[in-house]
Amino acid sequence: MNCLDIAWKNHAPELRSWLRRRLSQPQDVDDMMQDLFMKALRQGGKFCDVHNARAWLFEVARNALADRLKLRREMVELPDDLPAVFSEEAPVDMLTACLPRVLSELKDSDREAIVLCDLGGMPQADYAAQIGLKLSAAKSRLQRARQRLQERMTVACQVQVDQTGHIEGFVPRPPLDQPG
């Protein structure tokens, strides 16, 4: 009796039991057992060099089972009249089209705070130092500027929101330097 025969005799019942718990059809278990034996047989003399035959058999079984389950995933036919997925931007993303016009209508100090910090990425501490204010005062100024920008955009761009506060739509406003 060679090493494969011994390993198979010692571990096949446990392997079969393990596969039975994972496969619903007895013929699938039989097929897997045959496939596993053939894989081990193809190893030839190399199988005898395996340090832990049980671990090798279970690893090969686990991988084969994973491959088998991937192949057997049920595919669902999609109806022909299924609408295409829109790649349209969300209204909130398109709202940036209103930003240049509304920014131009803000007070200089509000526009400066928003352009430098929110659009330019300047840290609020640097902004505070640049305009000669304490950090807390600069943060308050920026917060008030953001609030006025939001109010102005809501009115000027006729922003519509749903019940949860998400933007549903708006009326674009071109910048002042373009014909309107």
- Please give the Cα distance from 157 to 175 (Å, whole number): 12
Which tens digits make up the pLDDT trace of 122-180? 999 999 999 999 999 999 999 999 999 988 888 888 888 888 878 777 887 766 665 44
Report the 10 Å Cβ neighbour count for 87. 5
Residue 180 lies in a domain: no
Q: How many domains does the chain have?
A: 2
pLDDT on residue 148: 94
Please tell me whether residues 142 and 96 are part of one structural domain: yes
**3-state secondary structure (DSSP) of residue 167:** strand
- Please give the Cα distance from 114 to 67 (Å, whole number): 55
Which tens digits make up the pLDDT trace of 59-103? 999 998 888 877 766 666 777 776 666 556 666 677 778 888 888
Predicted confidence (pLDDT) at residue 48 exceeds the cutoff of 90: no
**pLDDT category of residue 47 using cuts at 50, 70 and 90:** confident
Residue 44 lies in a domain: yes
59 within 8 A of 15, measured Cβ to Cβ: no
Report the 10 Å Cβ neighbour count for 16. 15
Please tell me whether residues 150 and 116 are part of one structural domain: yes
Residue 143 lies in a domain: yes
- Please give the Cα distance from 10 to 8 (Å, whole number): 5
Structural domain containing residue 36: 3-71
Residue 23 lies in a domain: yes
What token pair was written down for 20? 């039975």
Which string of DSSP letters, residue by residue, matches 143-155?
HHHHHHHHHHHHH
Q: Give the residue-averaged pLDDT of 104-108.
A: 92
- Please give the Cα distance from 179 to 177 (Å, whole number): 7
Please tell me whether residues 56 and 125 are part of one structural domain: no
Residue 54 lies in a domain: yes
pTM over 0.75: no
pLDDT on residue 180: 46
Specify the higher pLDDT residue, 42 or 173: 42
